[in-house]
Amino acid sequence: MTVESVNPETRAEPATELREPPLAGGGVPLLGHGWKLARDPLAFMAQLRDHGDVVRIKLGPKTVYAVTTPALTGALALSPDYHIAGPLWESLEGLLGKEGVATANGPLHRRQRRTIQPAFKLDAIPAYGPIMEEEAHALTERWQPGRTIDATSESFRVAVRVAARCLLRGQYMDERAERLCVALATVFRGMYRRMVVPLGPLYRLPLPANREFNSALADLHLLVDEIIAERRASGQKPDDLLTALLEAKDDNGDPIGEQEIHDQVVAILTPGSETIASTIMWLLQALAEHPEHTDRIRDEVEAVTGGRPVAFEDVRKLTHTANVIVEAMRLRPAVWVLTRRAVVDTELGDYRIPAGSDIIYSPYAIQRDPKSYAAHLEFDPDRWLPERVKDLPKYAMRPFSLGNRKCPSDHFSMAQLTLITAALATKYRFEQVPGSNDAVRVGITLRPHDLLVRPVAR
């Protein structure tokens, strides 16, 4: 099974009679449904399907349209009538800027995709293989049997190192990975608050939480400036994404601006590292909770490699390993909420969506919906076997999105996740230790609160 094999892309049929979506109950003055979204966001988003395929909710004074079915989330992602915008992206603007590929729309976004896409083409990924292998095996060597591992810091460290060494060719040091880990935790927590409770002016007051947020955000941008400055000073031009950005031209044939270069590097190092790190954390949690699948991964790797260390060339053959990764992403998607904005009067299903409206949907809710998945809360990697996956509804699982907003690094991400999972499961079993808390911590991404694991040598 590959991620790309999950559901073909089709567009929803146009509605014949348009209605206004129902309004969800339980809103309160000023905050609307934002207080429910802040208190228990996963449960709130999951229960919205009981009220309709499209439901109106209030975030502060703003009306937002929540989409709850796989078919309509697919139509939303594929339609040119919706742009990247809305509460999520507004909350991320301080980090991602307005000129990076993650937040741009229209011609600017298309040009930026053309600039970065060569670094993520299928035929470019093997060049990163030796680095991915080195980092995966270094992880198994750094971790010692019987010693407690802080999954948060270790997951960030390896995610940042792979991104920096492959895409920025940086001599990346653990100290910077630690800075990124600490700063991102603060920044994404603050951005989540700004998304669900949009009280703009209050976030500019010199309150302790606001000062902490601003300090962490400044350190993230300083880190990016250091990386770019070091590359310029070196005079080197390795064949990597940073070189492509430094030599990129705009539509007039002039070099792209410094802000765009900065925003693009931010998009490489921050959301990418955050989502990959969160996924590694959930994989460690799954390996500890389901040792039978850890053993199946070990057996699969040994059957493929004959006992030698797992290598990039083995990735496509590790089908059960990939299915474990996809199942972990289904139950605990790093990106649990997404937003779009209607640029024209349009429709979703039988509902009218006015121009300028914000739309929200939750991959977490979609991917756990009992209407789509049998035994929807059960960890079952075999549901991704070819004979079973064909029974899933369209768009019930799209961990890297689709359409022109599909994550350009999907193959890159799956390769590194497969190598890391295979290397760890081959050498160790895992168990959680006293004090570990694997409950879901909700922010811009999902991660365990404080996952502590102990590797047990095989």
Q: Which carries the bigger pLDDT value, residue 412 or residue 34?
A: 412
- Which residue range is the domain that position 360 belongs to? 3-457
Average pLDDT, integer, range 120-125: 78
Give the number of C-alpha atoms closer than 13 A to the C-alpha of residue 184, restricted to the C-beta side: 31
pLDDT tier for residue 111 given thresholds of 50, 70 and 90: confident
Token duo for residue 35: 């207080």
Mean pLDDT value across the chain: 86
Q: Are 372 and 74 in contact (CB under 8 A)?
A: no
Q: Are 80 and 105 in contact (CB under 8 A)?
A: no
Nearest-angstrom CA–CA distance, 277 and 289: 19
Nearest-angstrom CA–CA distance, 389 and 105: 33
Specify the residue for token string 């705009």. Answer: 250
The pTM of the full predicted model, rounded to 2 decimals, is 0.85
Nearest-angstrom CA–CA distance, 189 and 187: 5
Nearest-angstrom CA–CA distance, 79 and 342: 10
What φ, ψ does residue 62 adopt, rounded to 5°? -95, 135
Confidence at residue 404, expressed as pLDDT on a 0 to 100 scale? 72
- How many Cβ atoms are within 10 Å of 346's Cβ, its own excluded? 21
- pLDDT at residue 358 greater than cutoff 70: yes
**Cβ-count burial of 33 within 10 angstroms (0-12 exposed, 13-18 middle, 19+ buried)?**
buried
Encode pLDDT of 133-160 as tens digits: 999 999 999 999 999 999 988 998 899 8
Encode pLDDT of 397-448 as tens digits: 998 888 777 777 889 999 999 999 999 999 999 999 999 999 999 887 899 9
- pLDDT at residue 49 greater than cutoff 80: yes
CATH of residue 64: 1.10.630.10
CA distances from 46 to 42, 294, 359 (A): 6, 30, 16
Confidence at residue 274, expressed as pLDDT on a 0 to 100 scale? 84
Confidence at residue 14, expressed as pLDDT on a 0 to 100 scale? 47
Confidence at residue 57, expressed as pLDDT on a 0 to 100 scale? 94
Confidence at residue 306, expressed as pLDDT on a 0 to 100 scale? 95
- pLDDT at residue 95 greater than cutoff 50: yes
Residues 6+ apart with CB under 8 A from 268: 163, 167, 168, 241
Encode pLDDT of 223-266 as tens digits: 888 888 888 888 888 878 888 888 888 778 888 888 888 888 88
Confidence at residue 428, expressed as pLDDT on a 0 to 100 scale? 97
Nearest-angstrom CA–CA distance, 175 and 278: 19
Encode pLDDT of 159-187 as tens digits: 988 888 887 776 655 567 677 777 777 88
Q: Which carries the bigger pLDDT value, residue 394 or residue 114?
A: 394
Average pLDDT, integer, range 278-303: 97
Confidence at residue 169, expressed as pLDDT on a 0 to 100 scale? 75
Confidence at residue 6, expressed as pLDDT on a 0 to 100 scale? 45
Q: What is the chain's length?
A: 458
Confidence at residue 254, expressed as pLDDT on a 0 to 100 scale? 83
Q: Which carries the bigger pLDDT value, residue 329 or residue 173?
A: 329
Confidence at residue 150, expressed as pLDDT on a 0 to 100 scale? 94
CA distances from 167 to 235, 273, 369 (A): 17, 12, 36
Q: What percent of the chain has pLDDT over 90?
A: 48
Confidence at residue 149, expressed as pLDDT on a 0 to 100 scale? 96
Confidence at residue 259, expressed as pLDDT on a 0 to 100 scale? 86
Q: Number of structural domains, the chain?
A: 1
- pLDDT at residue 336 greater than cutoff 70: yes
- pLDDT at residue 37 greater than cutoff 50: yes
Specify the residue for token string 């919205």. Answer: 48
Sheet with 452-457, strands from edge to edge, namely 149-150, 452-457, 428-432
pLDDT tier for residue 11 given thresholds of 50, 70 and 90: very low
Q: What percent of the chain has pLDDT over 70?
A: 89
Q: Which carries the bigger pLDDT value, residue 373 or residue 247?
A: 373
- pLDDT at residue 2 greater than cutoff 70: no
Average pLDDT, integer, range 372-398: 95
